[in-house]
Amino acid sequence: MNIDVREPRLLVTSDAHIGSLFCDARRGLIRFLEFARAHDFNVCINGDGIDVEYTTLRAFTAETSAFLRELRRLTSDMTVYYTVGNHDILLEHYVGDWGRLQLVPFLNVSSGSKRIRIEHGHLYDPSMMTDPNLYHGIRQVLCAMCRMYPPGYYWHEKYQRLRFRYVRRLLGHDLHALDSTATRDISPAFLEAAEELAKRGFDAVVFGHTHYAGELPINDNRARYLNTGSWFRDPHFVKIDNGEVTLMQVPAGLR
């Protein structure tokens, strides 16, 4: 397991949730990987690439087997890093090098003169940190409910958004000063975690998990927090090109 890598050109995306009942991103992600290969980039799928929670065995096997076949074909001439998230947490048991597919818990990338930390970010989710057993119990119930009534997932997301806005108001944060949903609608814990990581000498910290794409300066403007959102809607990716780090929308043709 190599967590420190040098990658001049790397694209990072996250939260494709392949196999999920609510997201059909398999073809899109394959197109994205083919696009990266054609432009001489390696790729990091930053967690929740596949989804073992919001799924059924039938959907999971059908979607992931097709995806893994494609992945095997593509990794014949490009390296794909896969950082483990919470919806694919069972992959923690397989962490290691699988040829040119590298399964890692997180990644420290050196590119040009920059150091970039790539991590899914679920470790900093306050509900997961406070009581992991309760968190997983609630998730199981939610998954079962969403299987019976799929639109319930979007109500759940809306509830989370409102909850974090409420928490921020309680903390006295100025919601209007936070420029985008990427920073306004997520728990402050993620930005605090990104700050902590940036203090260790990173120029950029790339998370997924929250499903809200965006970026924000952190660590006294010495570093940046970036989030690639999710493939549920408006997927983004981070382009790392010889030290230049840019957050971009996945072009419509690739989705």
Please give the residue ranges that form the binding site for other proteins (CB under 8 A): 3-4, 105-106, 108, 115, 119, 123, 188, 191-193, 195-197, 199-202, 218
Least distance in Å: CB of 80 to other proteins? 21
Within 10 Å of residue 209's Cβ, how many Cβ atoms? 26
Return left, alpha or beta for 118; rule: phi > 0 is left, psi -120 to 50 is alpha, else beta.
beta
**Encoded amino acid at 96, one letter:** G
C-alpha–C-alpha distance, residues 225 and 250, integer Å: 19
Least distance in Å: CB of 2 to other proteins? 9
Nearer to other proteins (CB atom), residue 3 or residue 21 = 3
Residue 137 exposure: Cα atoms within 13 Å on the Cβ side: 4
Cβ atoms of 130 and 108 within 8 Å: the answer is no
Least distance in Å: CB of 60 to other proteins? 28
Nearer to other proteins (CB atom), residue 3 or residue 145 = 3
Sheet holding 42-46, edge to edge: 96-98, 101-104, 80-83, 42-46, 9-13, 236-241, 244-249
Least distance in Å: CB of 199 to other proteins? 6
Nearer to other proteins (CB atom), residue 150 or residue 201 = 201
Least distance in Å: CB of 164 to other proteins? 16
Nearer to other proteins (CB atom), residue 8 or residue 105 = 105
Q: Which of 147, 125, 120 is nearest to 136 (CA)?
A: 125
Nearer to other proteins (CB atom), residue 112 or residue 152 = 112
